[in-house]
Amino acid sequence: MPATDTLTRGVRIGYGSGSVATGAFGTVPGLMLLPYLTDSLGIAAILAGFIVFLPKAWDVILNPIAGRISDRTVDPRGPRRPWLLRGGAGLAVGFVLLFAAPDMATGLEAAWVLVAFLACATAYAFFQVPYVAMPAEMTSSYDERTRLMTWRVAILAFTIMLAGATAPAIRDAVGGRDGYRVMGLVMAAIIVIGVVSSYVGTRNAPVTSPQPGAGSLRDQLRIVAGAHDFRALLTCFVIQALATGCMLAGVDYLASDVLGKDGAATILFVCFVGPALLLTPVWSAIGTRVGKKSGYVASSVILACGGLLAVTAQSAPVAVVYLAVVLVGVGYAGCQVFPMAMLPDAAAVDVRRTGSNRAGVYTGVWTAGETLGLALGPGVFALVLAIGGYRSSTDGDVAQPDSALTAITLGFSILPAVLIILSLWWLRRYSLGSAEVDEKVAA
């Protein structure tokens, strides 16, 4: 069935429900894996950062390949939907194993986590890349893609809050390494819900069927890399993913070591995601009025301001820190809505102009970049911890030096804020607005 200008609400919700899977996997390892390695398995911060980073680096290579494979998949259900089930099932199994390392020598436990995370990353690539490619093929409308992303980001924000708030609570309620194992099972079940819902919910989604682009994967990547607007948007988004990865990795450390309050990690997550649940439709309306690029700039500035305010975490009342995270959440909502709505514009312009379907390659490169940024975030934060002299342990009950507390605070606040502002240098080069998209598609 060909793409149309307007999608039904059922299709929008069905597609958006895939964010339950992406949100859970994107949030929990970024939040919990580094503390699991340093404070439960007793692995040094530098090695822990490497373990977190390597599987994501593998995804950078794998994602464009996954996109190319989905572009060329022939199936009555469409080229993308079968991969939702295939990749999603593997992701759920891998996630259970990730936090279920048996009691072994520290080196073997580190190897277990590395192999399990590699398996998760591989399965996730084959779910996420086809999933992100679908909007460019579901609708030809510039504004409808924004509405579609509004549902996706709203569900994503809810999942981030659900997973981010409950994962630490489950771990703390059960206690010890068993707490991580139970948490892994619960999060895997949430991933399954998202996978099945997105597969069933998109069964009536319209799909275009342009021919896959000719040439090798290298040829396709060269063409995509030459797309000026896509390249500018991707660079901005990757740098912002790096900033988000730093903040996500720092939440547990900020809550336990700097704020020192029980349940602070859960409160921080509610402050972060709660505004996104309320304001995602607002950002969508703002984008319709002023344009996606202008909305993206505004939301980025708000996010950066929240990060700068969080630098007071060691001295200001805790309410100020929570307020800072609320500002981060307000900005984060827009920083998800707008680039995700701008990506299919760039891919659709290419498809309509050439008749060749490179949507999978576009989204493969996009998700590879996002994955790289989110992977570098915890790695960079781990490096900041090491520079600050952070002390690893097997029970998490170690007094940290002042230098480590300062490192945690700066890694959560100033560093991400600077990265967000820096990313806008590339965003200024993006030129696709509603008129430009319509003109280039028509051409």
Q: What is the pLDDT of residue 438?
A: 47
Q: Which of 187-191, 207-211, 262-266, 375-379 has the lowest mean pLDDT?
A: 207-211
Q: What is the pLDDT of residue 100?
A: 92
Q: Is pLDDT of 122 > 90?
A: yes
Claim: this prediction has a pTM higher than 0.75 = no
Q: What is the pLDDT of residue 396?
A: 61
**Averaged pLDDT score across all residues of the chain:** 83
The pLDDT tens digits for 58-89 are: 877 888 788 878 877 777 777 788 899 999 99
Residue 154 near residue 284 (C-beta atoms within 8 A): no
For the chain, the structural domain boundaries read 9-203+216-442
Residue the block writes with tokens 């399954």:
192
Residue 135 near residue 344 (C-beta atoms within 8 A): yes
What integer is the mean pLDDT of 392-421?
88
CA distances from 334 to 73, 257, 264, 341 (A): 33, 30, 25, 11
- The span from the CA of 66 to the CA of 371, in Å, is 14
Q: What is the pLDDT of residue 196?
A: 94
Q: Give CATH for domain 9-203+216-442.
A: 1.20.1250.20
- The span from the CA of 343 to the CA of 359, in Å, is 10
Q: Is pLDDT of 249 > 50?
A: yes
The pLDDT tens digits for 6-50 are: 778 888 888 889 989 988 998 888 788 888 998 888 888 888 888
Q: What is the pLDDT of residue 325?
A: 92
* Beta-carbon count within 10 A of 200 CB: 14
